[in-house]
Amino acid sequence: MGKDKNPRRVADNEAMAKTRLLRTSPQKLNLLATMIRGKKVEKALSDLTFSKRRISADVKKCLQSAIANAENNHNLDVDELIVAEAWVGKGLVMKRGRPRARGRFGRIHKPFAEITIKVRQVEEAS
């Protein structure tokens, strides 16, 4: 008399991965998400590998996790995967400060972001 099985949040030909608490602003992270959105996973991995942005290594790790989920948990073919969706969410914002002239206080915001990557298996039309 247990609980019913949770329904899948993604379709049968999809898999996803999520990385939270990335120490960058959502605006900067969204630049990388738009760079890989809609591409084949091999091309997206190579783009992230050679990107100059600091956070691209963490985005690459999230994409590799989505690929591993597709292969191991959902039995999808890695060669036919594309990055179907990649979206960015806002996380917490640490508020810090710095003393300024004439007794004032300069606020410093240190934002965090999260990224969700969904990969989908598509059959190649030959």
Average pLDDT, the chain: 95
What pLDDT shows up at residue 124? 74
Q: What is the pLDDT of residues 47-104, one digit of tens each?
A: 999 999 999 999 999 999 999 999 999 999 999 999 999 999 999 999 999 999 999 9
**Does the pLDDT at position 125 exceed 70?**
no
b/e map 15-48, b = 16+ CB within 10 Å: bbbebeebebbbeebbebbebbbeebbeebbebb
| Whole-number percent of the chain with pLDDT over 70 | 98
What pLDDT shows up at residue 8? 83
**Does the pLDDT at position 1 exceed 80?**
no
What pLDDT shows up at residue 7? 87
Q: Which residue type sits at 35?
A: M
Separation in Å, CA 65 to CA 16, 81, 104: 8, 13, 46
**Does the pLDDT at position 9 exceed 90?**
no
Domain 14-121 belongs to what topology?
Ribosomal Protein L22; Chain A (3.90.470)
* Alpha-carbon gap, residue 68 to 90, rounded angstroms: 25
Q: What is the mean pLDDT of residues 102-107?
A: 97
116 touches 20 (CB < 8 A):
no
Parse the chain into domains and list their residue ranges. Answer: 14-121
Q: Which residue type sits at 91?
A: G
Cβ atoms within 10 Å of 55's Cβ, excluding its own:
19
| pTM listed for this prediction | 0.91
